[in-house]
Amino acid sequence: MKTPKRLQPLLDDGLIDEVVFQLKSGKEAQVYLVRCGEELRCAKVFKEARKRSFKQAVQYQEGRKARNTRRARAMAKRTSYGQKEQESAWLNAEVDALYKLSAAGVRVPQPMGFVDGVLLMELVSDGEGDVAPQLDEVTLSAETARTFHDQILSEIVRMLDAGLIHGDLSQFNVLVDAEGPVIIDLPQAVDAAHNNNAAMMLVRDVDNMRRYFGRFAPELCETEYGLEIWSLYARGLLSPTARLSGRFNRSDASVDMDELMAVIDAAREEEQERLEEELAWEQGDRD
């Protein structure tokens, strides 16, 4: 295939040897299958800010620290330099998150480098060695849905224990390899300790997974893992080995949790509308 302009410098520098074909075109980036020596990898080419449909919402960026005070001031004042630095920080967020989560044992693609807005990473493949499908492309039995739901919850807890929340988790950014779900697409990853929207986003991520897997195993729709996980985290009791029940007693919640749940209930309605729009967008892109 014709080499995309953004990948030509990587070819010239010998970082990749061949662009095989395009795997995906999304709101944030285009993903290509590339050959590096004898290995096949992915190259995620982030779109320029003006061409992206996903907005760099303040709620995602809250808590992210600039590398120095000059950059922080420029970003706060939204100068031309500051906007460039903000764009750079947004792009580097996924790279930093992948390295951090990979080191914590979270099932994410292994990053291989980041050059000029192009992220090189491990190719996630299925049991046959082919490119792993998205979760929404896989037909699930009730038993498999329960198993995958448990695995996703474990990854969410492991991510939170490492200090991060995905922030936009759905069936469209989970791949399925031979061992189960692999979480992808993390440019909006949220700092759990320093973002005031962290609790809402954590519960929203868990709710998205609950609704999706609940299509195949309806009993999952009755669970409250998101609130349970956040409650344990807020009390310093969460760990990757924590045993979850899927139950949360609202009557025992503190005043702060009551206020949080009111916000979450409103966010759930808004998120359902957003997911329906995203599904329509994904279907249109495939057509």
pLDDT reported for residue 269: 65
Give the number of other Cβ atoms within 10 Å of residue 43's Cβ.
29
pLDDT reported for residue 3: 87
pLDDT reported for residue 248: 86
Distance CA 98, CA 185 (A): 9
Beta strands in the chain (DSSP E): 18-25, 29-36, 39-46, 111-115, 118-122, 164-165, 174-177, 180-183, 190-191
pLDDT reported for residue 22: 94
Structure tokens at 263: 């916000």
Question: Which positions ≥6 away from 19 have C-beta within 8 Å?
Answer: 1, 3, 4, 7, 11, 32, 33, 34, 43
Residue 85 near residue 74, CB atoms below 8 Å: yes
pLDDT reported for residue 157: 97
Question: Taking CA 11 as the corner, what is the angle to CA 9 and CA 14, rounded to the nearest 5 degrees?
Answer: 110
pLDDT reported for residue 159: 97
pLDDT reported for residue 72: 46
pTM for the structure as a whole: 0.78
Residue 114 near residue 95, CB atoms below 8 Å: yes
Domains of the chain: which residue ranges? Answer: 57-110+132-286
Token pair 């979760």: residue: 135
Averages of pLDDT over each 10 residues, the chain, 287 residues: 89 94 86 95 81 49 52 50 59 88 96 91 91 95 98 98 95 95 92 90 95 97 94 92 88 56 61 65 61
Superfamily of domain 57-110+132-286: Transferase(Phosphotransferase) domain 1 (1.10.510.10)
